[in-house]
Each structure stands twice: as C-alpha cells, then as structure tokens.
A and B are shown apart, each in its own frame.
Chain A
Amino acid sequence: MASGQQWVLVEMVQAFYEAPAYHLILEGILILWIIRLLFSKTYKLQERSDLTEKEKEELIEEWQPEPLVPPVSKDHPSLNYDVVTGPPSHKIIVNGKECINFASFNFLGLLDSERVKLKALSSLKKYGVGTCGPRGFYGTFDVHLELEERLAKFMGTEEAIIYSYGFATIASAIPAYSKRGDIIFVDEAACFSIQKGLQASRSFIKYFKHNDMEDLERLLKEQEIEDQKNPRKAKVIRRFIVVEGLYINTADLCPLPQLVKLKYRYKVRIFLEESMSFGVLGEHGRGVTEHFGVNIDDIDLISANMENALASIGGFCCGRSFVIDHQRLSGQGYCFSASLPPMLAAAAIEALNIMEEDPGLFRVLRDKCKHVHKALQGTPGLKVIGEPLAPALHLQLENSSGSRTDDLKLLRAIVDYSLDRQIALTLARYLDKEERFLPPPSIRVVVTVEQTQDEIQTAAQCIREAALKILK
C-alpha cells in the first residue's frame, strides 16, 4: 500500500513536470477561482442594480410632489372665523352685533373681574410681559412659585406644576410617564389634547367605551391574563387609566369611585383631566374628586387648564411630589417652552383668591347649569347632551340628515339665527380627520354665573324658535 501511494505521488510530480504550460496556467487560474469563490459571498442579499447618475437625474426630474397644502375653498366652514371685537365677556360683540355670551368658557365670570385686572396690571408694571426663558433658565419667577403653591393648597395636594399653555399640559404630562411598551387605558370620548399625549407617548393604547366600567374591566382582565403568560415582562409594563373629570365632548362625569376601585384591584394609575370640572364641581370648586368625595391622593395625577374657570392662560398638574416633580425634567412642554408671562400667573392667583373667598360662586353656577339644562329640554328637533350640572352642554340634532356637512349647516343656521337675536352661541369645532372617535356635530351652550334668569329664558326661547324655523 505504502509503495503504491508513493508511486502515485511520484507520478503526479512527474505529470506536473511534463504538463504543458497552458495547462498549468489554466489549473492555476482554476485554483484561484475556487479560492475566490470560497472567500467571496456566493450570493447577494438583494439584487442590486445601481442606478446610473443619468437615471437618477431623470427620476429627480420626473418626481412631482403634492402641493404643500391642498387648496382650501373660500367658503370652507372653518376658514372664516367669527370676529369678536372687544372683550369676550358676558356681553360680547360678534361680527359687529352685541350679544349675551353663551359660548366662552368663562364659567365664573372672572374674565371681567376688576380685581383680576388690577392684579395683572400691577404685575405688568413690575415684570413686563414676557419671561424670555424657560423655567430652567431664569424663567422661574416668584409669581410662578406662588401660583404653584396656591394651586397645590387649593387642590389639597403636595405639589403643583404650571404650564404656559392649557393644551400642552396633559399632552406633555402623559408622555412624561408612559413610554414605549407601556399601556394606557383611555375613554373613547377623551379630548384632543389627551389624544395627542397618547400619540406622543408611543405606548399601547386601549380604548374602552365611554364611561363603561365593564368594558374597562374586560380590558384590564385581558391584560391580567396576558401578564400571567409573561410575568417578568409584566413587572416593567406601566399602566395608566386616562379619563376626564367632566368630558368636554359629552358633558358628562366619569364614574370616579368605580375607577378608583379598579385602580387598586388591577394596580393601574389614574390620570384625570379636569379642565371642565376644575373651578366648577364640588363644594369648593376642586373638581370631580370633591364632587364624589374621593380622596385626592388616590388619583395619581390631575391636570387642568387655567383658561376656563380661572379665565387666564396656561394649565397645571397636581398630585404627590413623587409623581409631579418628575415633570420638571421630563415634561416637554414645561422644560422646553418659555414660562407663563407673570401677569397671567398673577391673574390666576387673584382668580384663585376670589374662588377661595366665595365658594358661593360654585353653588350659583350649579343652579344656573340646572336651569339652563332644564330650559333647553324639549327643544324640537334638538337633544340636550350632558348632565344637569355640566357648564358646557351640547345640542345635537335628534335626526341627522345623514351627512355631516348638512348637519353642520343646519346647526350653523341656528347659531346665526341666535346671533341675530343677540344670543352668542358657537358650533363645537373638531378636526374631522384627526379625531379618533369623532363626536356628532353639535352647538355648544356654555353656562356662566353672569347669565340672569331672564337671559337664560330668552336664549332657550330663541333656540326653540330657531329650531322650529330651521329644522322643520
């Protein structure tokens, strides 16, 4: 065997010597080829046919973008705003006509208050208008600290934080806590700023039917089952329930006591948006928690704007320091925006003073709300949406014509009819394509403490006439 092998080897060497040069070269090339094949990728991930410069230029030449914005027709219903000249207080001048205001969220009539104006003026004298900086960079004024302290005290919480824009408050607060991978349970009727906050948080959003606690519990249970499958993951998924105290879109209350029960049963935190209920509900105007007698510490975060009852600008969040303080570094609308002009903060402080001194205001408002709610009942063709204690009701068509545009036109005709008769109303405006659950078209009726019995009767009468005339 050994000798045989040797022979083969010798023969091979001999053959190598004898072989013609072209053969060796060919063999050599073949070997190199094999090596190349071994070391190069034998397949391509993607068939690449690179475009030549010329082809690229052609493509660039050919590409036609859509216009930056689509054209808006001149008579687009939301293009031509009603013009208000003079202050939008109890008497308001809309398109040149003086009317009684049933449209601005000036629930407590503080927009007009001399005291508030004087406080704002004295602040203007001292601080000027702008703050020229965010809170972190010398935009924190003594007035801001005072307002935060006062709001916390008013609400009975450890801490409060103010934002310079009402809309940005809850929209910044939600993504400060809830991140990608977390879960938010939210009511279908939630207002637009909540929706934007949800979107910015990039969390999983689970909508439950409006005020339907069974539906919410079903979702929570589903999640509980999901958690049991993967308990390790479940330990880091934060969960939140986001609700409004008094819904701006439906004018009804959230069932807070049941929500609190669910919170502890399923270990979910509650964020409560109170822009409509702060300064309205409760013996002292502290909102739904006071209305239901719920311990405010059971709510993780309460946010509200200061643009409705307080009749200033901006918003605030309040709750325990453990929760609220986090926004001072993580609330985008807080950190990256200039702070609230001191004169607006000063005005809010004075408005709080008035609210604290005279809790009777809230009783008056409640009576007026009930009155308006009652007076509007039985308007032909229109139904009243909302609870008797809600200060901003909706009038919807009983029978929709089937087309939103036509419905809006009908309602707008009622608004115009009333404007002519010195009752200022407005349509509730929405962005049709942006809303997650678009509310039906409606007329907003806002109650304020300044409206007298007579004015309420006149307004109700006027709406009835208009409905009779336009809807039949």
Chain B
Amino acid sequence: MIRTDEHHSCKGTPMCHSDQKQLQSNSMKNGYHKKEKVQKNGKGDGFHQPRVRGEDSFEEAPMYVAVLTYMGYGIVILFGYFRDFLRAVGFEKCHQAQEREEQKDFVPLYQDFENFYKRNLYTRVRDNWNRPICSLPGPVFDVMERVSDDYNWTFRLTGRTIENVINMGSYNYLGFAENNVDFLKTVAEETRQYGVGVCSTRQELGNLSTHEKLERLVAEFLGVESAMAFGMGFATNSMNIPALVGKGCLILSDELNHTSLILGARLSGATIRVFKHNNMQSLEKMLKDAICSGQPRTHRAWKKILIMVEGIYSMEGSLVRLPEILALKKKYKAYLYLDEAHSIGAVGPTGRGVTEYFGVDPNEVDVLMGTFTKSFGAAGGYIAGKKELVDYLRSHSHSAVYATAMSPPVVEQIIRAIKCIMGVDGTTEGQRRVRQLAENTRYLRSRLKEMGFIIYGNQDSPVVPLLLYLPGKVGAFSRAMLKRKIGVVVVGFPATPITEARARFCVSAAHTREMLDKVLQSLDELGDDIKLKFSRHRSSYRPELYDETDFELDS
C-alpha cells in the first residue's frame, strides 16, 4: 500500500545493480550501515558524510475515502448546476463581475467550465486563500480579519486583526523573514544608499557591483565555479531553460515539476516527455528509448537530453532520488537540471541543499537552480554551475537582456542570509537554524504519523503535506485551524489530483517547540472532530529521531 516499492523492483536493469546494495542499506534503519556507505562513496571527501536517506512515503487512502471524495465533488457539481439554473431564471442574484454592455456581443472571454468551477466550487471556500496579513511573515503573524456579506463573492476588511496566528504556511524555512534591526542593518544601509530600483537590465546599465558580489557568494556557498542571480524565482526557470535547450533536444521532466519548469520547457521548443514522480525505472526506460529511437519521425539523434527534477517537491514533500538520477545521467550522457527552490538552505547538514544531503559533489549536477524567496527570506533565483554554463547565460539569458536587475536591498538580504548560514558573519546562528529546522521537521512529522494522519514525503523534508481528501474538509479544516489561531495552507484540485486534496505545513527553524506542540494538539483534536486520521499504519512507537543527541551525531 505504500508506494515506495520502486526501490526494489528495478532489479535487472543494468544501472540498478551497483546501486541496489546502497538502496537496501538506505532503507535500513538509521546509522546501521553508515560505515559501509562512507567507504563506498569515498570520493566524496571534502563533503559531509553521506546521510542515510529517509523513505518517501505515499500511503494510499482506504477505498471508501476515494468513493466519498468523488461523491463529494459530485454533490457540489450538482448543486452548482442547480444554482446556475436558479441564476438563469433570475431567482438568485449573480454576484460575479459582468461583461460590459458594449462588449456583450464579443466572443466570451472565458470558457464555461473554467467559470463554472470558479463560481460554484472555488467561491464557496475562497476565504481560505489570499488571506491578507499585516505583519512580518515570521513564525507568528497577524491576519487581517475579513468577512463576506455575500457568501464569499466579495470580502470586507473589518479593520480588526487576528493577532499572533501561528504561521504554518510561509516558506520561511530558516527564519530569515525577520525584522530585527541589528540583522537588517546592512539592508537598511543599502536602501538608504541605493533606493529600491535599478531601472535598467543587467546587460545595459543595471549590473551593479553588489550583484556581482552576490553571485560570487552564491557560487562559493554552493561549492561550484560560478553563479548568476535573477530577479524572480519563477522567471529563473521560465526564462533560462529556453537558453539551454531548443528544437531537437529532449526534456525529461518529473510529472510533479513546478509550473515554472513546465513553462520554461514549453517555451524552449524542445520535446518534453514526462516520467513518473521519482520513478527511476520510468526515467531509465525513457532515456533508453530516446537514445535508441532518436527523434520522432526523422529518427535523427537527439542533440541533448536534459533531465529536470526538483530537490524537494513542494506539494508532496518528497526528496529527489539524486544519487540514482546522477548514475542514470552519467550512464546515458544526459544533463541534469536540479531545481532547489525548496531544498536550498532547508536540507543538508549545513543547509547546502540536496547535493549535500546525499553527499554528492554539487559539480556533478549540470545546472543548479534555486530561489532566494524561501530559505533566504528575500526574492529572486539563481542558476549555478560550471563557468561555461554561467557565461553562456550571461550572454543569452532572456532575463539578463530584457528584465530589470535585482533590487539592491533584496540583494543585500540574500548576502546577509548566506553569510549567516556559512558562518562568515562570525556566529553559529546560521548553523543553529539549519539544525533547528531539521529537528522541528522530524518532530512534527513523526508526531503527525503517530497520531494517524496520512502525511506524504520524506522524513527530512520541511514541507509536510497532510492529506484531507474530501473537498468538504478542505474549507472546514482551514477555517477551524484559523479559529485556533493557526494559519495553514490547503490545496485541492486542480493543484493536486482530484482525490488528493491536502493541507501543507511548512516547518520553520523559527518555530518553537511550544508552537509546534500547540499545532499538534489542535491537529489531534481537529483530526478526531472532522475525521482526518485515515492512516492504517499508525506507528505506535516513539522513535528517538527527534532526540537532541541524534542531531549532534548527524552533523
């Protein structure tokens, strides 16, 4: 029932042989095989010890839950049609913004279904998204109270705030979303000197020395030759992938990749094939087929093959199988594009992302991409790797030529955060945070499992999805949590498969044990109230994973 058996089923394929042992040792309990693995990966010196990779778990829900979920959608859709009928006959007032009179005879701007979904399903629960806040997005925040007088068609701010709501939604993994004056001193200075804008592109006159300083620092932090920074994380993917691949190239993309990667791949004009999430068999088969049969119709050989994966998948909380992918990539001479949006800073003994987590040399990954929005509490993204790669991007990236350069204060915030993590600011604060995050993550995850919730992903991933399944529970869960002063993120169709609506918690190093305990207690109560404890693998043991000592050993 747990979807992790891909490990063992890849027997027989030539690549897997060498890794088979490693995989098996991986799946053994912590620490047991550590020694043997260190010897095996002897070339990884200079990097931290390879860590035993936890399992990604994807427990399936009982059948009745799936049936109920479909029924839930069925009921809402039926009601939707009924109410549309009432609106059509004028019995119910339609609150939606309408087309201008002058343009009523134009071709309708929206398709009917799209509108139907929004009108009849989304609107009913839309108070759970876009909740405005009026404070720092730290471990706690202040939510502005909104009420709706017309069943969520419009909202009215009451002017009151719900203070000190525990923030389980922001990607503030290392707690760098902070407003401590001492920490932000350099950022404030930069603002005073530069202002906020740049008013030019990098290739014209927007290349500030501070940008170059940041890029050197990022490269040093990641342990690669060179790096380039961009103003928006989303655009880092969508505007640079087209510079790397084009017609006649093949992109193999994980099915759960982020929209920005998909957009970038589409804009590039390359052929895109999608492999099953984290499924090495599926990937290897595609690689083999691609090389053997070449491009469709012409059978000409592919110019290059680019594998696109993410470090941590933001909706599943799973970690990429990096060592296996690297082995495949080498065997089939493909290139690897690794998007570390959620993993940089958030995993690895010193916060250097999944490469460090798995103890592999970051130089083995061809393109390292990441964002500054999450762990670094700023904005933007980077691409790092060999000097040739970055030089090529400097001259061919869409972003460098057409988009305004990064805001200097934002750049300074990233520099400050990276320096803190690297410890070059002379403190151990950064490392403390990295450790704290790992500890909080394991604590929250193991407690949730213990309570009987179905949670997805890797035990070390700070993205913790908790499955809700039924559409009715999505809104109820989020509202009930806000009532308990806990801000959570819930997502349903179309962001997830239709039967897998979920809540997502993002653990932060800034969360205290008290906060997590309060969240857990509320979840425990709520889980019983609205029946969310679907797991049939309720683990009764309390593993010592979150003991302090365990973490000292690990790092």
Does A157 sit at the interface, judged by CB under 8 A? no
Q: How many Å lie between the Cα of A144 and that of B130 in the bound state?
A: 11
Flag if A332 contacts B263 (CB, 8 Å): yes
Binding-face segment, A35-43, A207-215, A422-430: A422-430
Does B65 sit at the interface, judged by CB under 8 A? no
Flag if B194 contacts A269 (CB, 8 Å): no
Flag if A128 contacts B205 (CB, 8 Å): no
Q: Which residues of A contact B333 (CB under 8 A)?
A: 63-65
Flag if A429 contacts B204 (CB, 8 Å): yes
Does B226 sit at the interface, judged by CB under 8 A? no
For residue A246, give the distance in angstroms from its CB to the closest CB of chain B: 16
A71-B388, A106-B199 are known contacts. Are A92 and B132 too (CB-CB below 8 A)? no
Which of A88, A126, A323 counts the most B-chain CB atoms under 10 A from its CB?
A: A88
Interface residues of A in 357-416 (CB under 8 A from B): none
Does A303 sit at the interface, judged by CB under 8 A? no
For residue A439, give the distance in angstroms from its CB to the closest CB of chain B: 13
Flag if B239 contacts A167 (CB, 8 Å): yes
For A, the interface residue count at a CB cutoff of 8 angstroms equals: 120
Does A264 sit at the interface, judged by CB under 8 A? yes
Does B395 sit at the interface, judged by CB under 8 A? yes
Does A257 sit at the interface, judged by CB under 8 A? no
Q: Which residues of A contact B291 (CB under 8 A)?
A: 59-60, 63
Flag if B170 contacts A133 (CB, 8 Å): yes
A128-B377, A311-B196 are known contacts. Are A120 and B171 too (CB-CB below 8 A)? no
Partner of B107, one of A116, A199, A238: A238
Does B47 sit at the interface, judged by CB under 8 A? no
Q: Which residues of A contact B122 (CB under 8 A)?
A: 329
For residue B127, give the distance in angstroms from its CB to the closest CB of chain A: 12
Flag if B201 contacts A168 (CB, 8 Å): no
For residue A74, give the distance in angstroms from its CB to the closest CB of chain B: 9
Closest residue of chain B to A202, judged by CB? Answer: B266
Flag if B399 contacts A167 (CB, 8 Å): yes
Interface residues of A in 317-340 (CB under 8 A from B): 320-323, 325-326, 328-329, 332-333, 336-338, 340
Q: How many Å lie between the Cα of A410 and that of B129 in the bound state?
A: 55
A167-B402, A426-B200 are known contacts. Are A135 and B379 too (CB-CB below 8 A)? no
Q: How many Å lie between the Cα of A120 and that of B187 in the bound state?
A: 11
Q: Which residues of A contact B133 (CB under 8 A)?
A: 138, 140-142
Q: Which residues of B contact A138 (CB under 8 A)?
A: 131, 133, 137, 141, 167, 169-170, 487, 489
Closest residue of chain B to A103, judged by CB? Answer: B205
Q: How many Å lie between the Cα of A269 and that of B259 in the bound state?
A: 27
Closest residue of chain A to B508, judged by CB? Answer: A132
Write the B100-141 contact mask toward A (1 if CB under 8 angstroms, else 0). 101101111111000000100010000001111111111001
Binding-face segment, B174-182, B425-433, B444-452: B174-182
Interface residues of B in 232-278 (CB under 8 A from A): 232-235, 239, 242, 244, 258-260, 263, 266-267
Q: Which residues of A contact B402 (CB under 8 A)?
A: 167, 191-193, 431
Q: Which residues of A contact B409 (CB under 8 A)?
A: 120, 124, 129, 343
Interface residues of B in 391-408 (CB under 8 A from A): 391-396, 398-404, 406-408
Does B410 sit at the interface, judged by CB under 8 A? yes
Which of B111, B199, B202, B259 counts the most A-chain CB atoms under 10 A from its CB?
A: B199
Does A461 sit at the interface, judged by CB under 8 A? no
Does A441 sit at the interface, judged by CB under 8 A? no
For residue B128, give the distance in angstroms from its CB to the closest CB of chain A: 9
Flag if A65 contacts B172 (CB, 8 Å): no
Flag if A164 contacts B401 (CB, 8 Å): no
Does B378 sit at the interface, judged by CB under 8 A? yes
Partner of B378, one of A130, A310, A347: A130
Flag if A72 contacts B392 (CB, 8 Å): yes
Write the A125-167 contact mask toward B (1 if CB under 8 angstroms, else 0). 1111111110111111110110000000000001000001111
Does B326 sit at the interface, judged by CB under 8 A? no
Q: Which residues of B contact A129 (CB under 8 A)?
A: 177, 184, 187, 377-379, 409-410, 413
Flag if A336 contacts B398 (CB, 8 Å): no
Flag if B392 contacts A326 (CB, 8 Å): no
Flag if A124 contacts B179 (CB, 8 Å): yes
Flag if B244 contacts A69 (CB, 8 Å): yes
Partner of B258, one of A63, A130, A336: A336
Q: How many Å lie between the Cα of A312 and that of B194 in the bound state?
A: 11
Flag if A267 contacts B106 (CB, 8 Å): yes
Closest residue of chain B to A71, judged by CB? Answer: B388
Write the A249-283 contact mask toward B (1 if CB under 8 angstroms, else 0). 00000000000000010011100000000000000
A87-B194, A88-B206, A145-B132 are known contacts. Are A313 and B404 too (CB-CB below 8 A)? yes
Flag if B181 contacts A125 (CB, 8 Å): yes
Binding-face segment, A3-11, A77-85, A286-294, A450-458: A77-85
Closest residue of chain A to B402, judged by CB? Answer: A192
Partner of B407, one of A68, A322, A341: A341
For residue A273, give the distance in angstroms from its CB to the closest CB of chain B: 13
Partner of B199, one of A85, A307, A427: A307
Closest residue of chain A to B128, judged by CB? Answer: A136
Q: Which residues of A contact B540 (CB under 8 A)?
A: none
For residue A115, give the distance in angstroms from its CB to the closest CB of chain B: 11
Q: How many Å lie between the Cα of A288 and that of B358 in the bound state?
A: 55
Q: Which residues of B contact A347 (CB under 8 A)?
A: 195-197
Closest residue of chain A to B202, judged by CB? Answer: A81
Q: How many Å lie between the Cα of A320 and that of B96 in the bound state?
A: 12
Does B73 sit at the interface, judged by CB under 8 A? no
Flag if B231 contacts A320 (CB, 8 Å): no
Does B369 sit at the interface, judged by CB under 8 A? no
Flag if B389 contacts A431 (CB, 8 Å): no
Q: How many Å lie between the Cα of A140 and that of B169 in the bound state?
A: 12
Closest residue of chain B to A136, judged by CB? Answer: B129
Q: Which residues of A contact B267 (CB under 8 A)?
A: 196, 199-200
Does B366 sit at the interface, judged by CB under 8 A? yes
Flag if B398 contacts A87 (CB, 8 Å): no
Write the A215-236 contact mask toward B (1 if CB under 8 angstroms, else 0). 0000000000000000000111
For residue A62, give the distance in angstroms from its CB to the closest CB of chain B: 9
Closest residue of chain A to B305, judged by CB? Answer: A65
Partner of B192, one of A56, A113, A121, A238: A121
Closest residue of chain A to B179, judged by CB? Answer: A128
Q: Which residues of B contact A203 (CB under 8 A)?
A: none
Q: Which residues of A contact B106 (CB under 8 A)?
A: 267-269
Which of A59, A132, A133, A424 counts the most B-chain CB atoms under 10 A from its CB?
A: A132
Flag if B195 contacts A444 (CB, 8 Å): no
Q: How many Å lie between the Cα of A92 and that of B198 in the bound state?
A: 11
Flag if B196 contacts A56 (CB, 8 Å): no
Q: How many Å lie between the Cα of A145 and that of B98 in the bound state?
A: 22
Closest residue of chain B to A116, judged by CB? Answer: B195
Known: A68-B304, A130-B410, A431-B402. 8 other contacts (CB 8 A): A63-B301, A67-B304, A72-B391, A125-B181, A127-B179, A132-B170, A192-B398, A313-B410
15 A-B pairs, CB-CB below 8 angstroms? Answer: A56-B292, A60-B292, A65-B302, A72-B391, A106-B197, A124-B179, A125-B188, A130-B377, A131-B137, A165-B232, A311-B196, A313-B231, A313-B410, A322-B98, A337-B233
Interface residues of A (CB under 8 A from B): 51, 56, 59-60, 63-72, 76, 78-79, 81-89, 92, 94, 101, 103-106, 110-113, 116-117, 120-121, 124-133, 135-142, 144-145, 158, 164-168, 177, 179, 191-193, 196, 199-200, 234-239, 264, 267-269, 297, 305, 307-308, 310-313, 320-323, 325-326, 328-329, 332-333, 336-338, 340-341, 343-344, 347, 424, 426-431, 434, 444
Interface residues of B (CB under 8 A from A): 97-100, 102-103, 105-111, 118, 122, 129-138, 141, 144, 167, 169-172, 176-179, 181, 184, 187-188, 191-209, 212, 231-235, 239, 242, 244, 258-260, 263, 266-267, 288, 291-292, 301-306, 331-335, 366-367, 371-374, 376-379, 388-389, 391-396, 398-404, 406-410, 413, 487, 489
What are the 4 closest A-B residue pairs judged by CB atoms, nearest first?
A69-B392, A165-B232, A337-B234, A81-B207
